[in-house]
Amino acid sequence: MDTIELLARQPILPVIVIDDADSAVPLAEALMAGGLASIEITFRTKAAAEAIRRIRAAVPEMLVGAGTLLNAENADAALEAGAQFGLAPGLSAEVVAAFEDAGKLFIPGIMTPTEINQAADMGCKYLKFFPAETAGGAANLKAMNAAFKHLGLKYCPTGGITLANMEKYLSLPEVFAIGGSWLATRDQIAAGDWKTVSEQARAALTQAAKIRQS
């Protein structure tokens, strides 16, 4: 399976802010123990690239993405560290180009029809709807995509999504996955609370399976 098929198969993407690269491997192992085999390490801290590097080396069965890629420097660092795909809160032509050149999936962020149009013009078929809840939620995404449905675009809503509201998003056919920071919070990672992380991953996958089967 390619990257997008793997993400769609397990439509829950943990969005991770990691402060200490020493936590990266235990975190990945905790998510794997809960059944989740993908992760987004955001480039919001200096530990991001090293965290990606360590997970790729120690947990090769996990699909590792880099998030919050705002410029070419971020993109180059993520790719050099071994990121298998990338995401961003916005749309940067230079980041799109870097991942295209590397032959890897990049999922830019959109919030408006204009941004959807621009991303589609750049050849991006998979988009991150961010920040989902404060940008009108699932109803807004469904309404915006109506004008672009013939293009076959797919979305990964992120921002304010939780176990309690994920059904609104995963029930939409245009949504291939959702991203969530609740799966492993910054405090849980700092405390090494791996049992809770595994439980949260397991609960999310169970809920997602029920939604997709209904």
Can 128 be counted among the known catalytic residues?
yes
Can 195 be counted among the known catalytic residues?
no
Candidate list 104, 128, 142, 154, residue with the active-site label: 128
DSSP E strands: which ranges in the chain?
Answer: 12-16, 38-42, 63-67, 85-87, 105-107, 109-110, 126-129, 154-155, 178-180
The DSSP result for 68-122, as a single string, is: ---SHHHHHHHHHHT-SEEE-SS--HHHHHHHHHHT-EEE-EE-SHHHHHHHHHT
Candidate list 5, 29, 40, 61, residue with the active-site label: 40
Q: Hey, which residues are catalytic here?
A: 40, 128
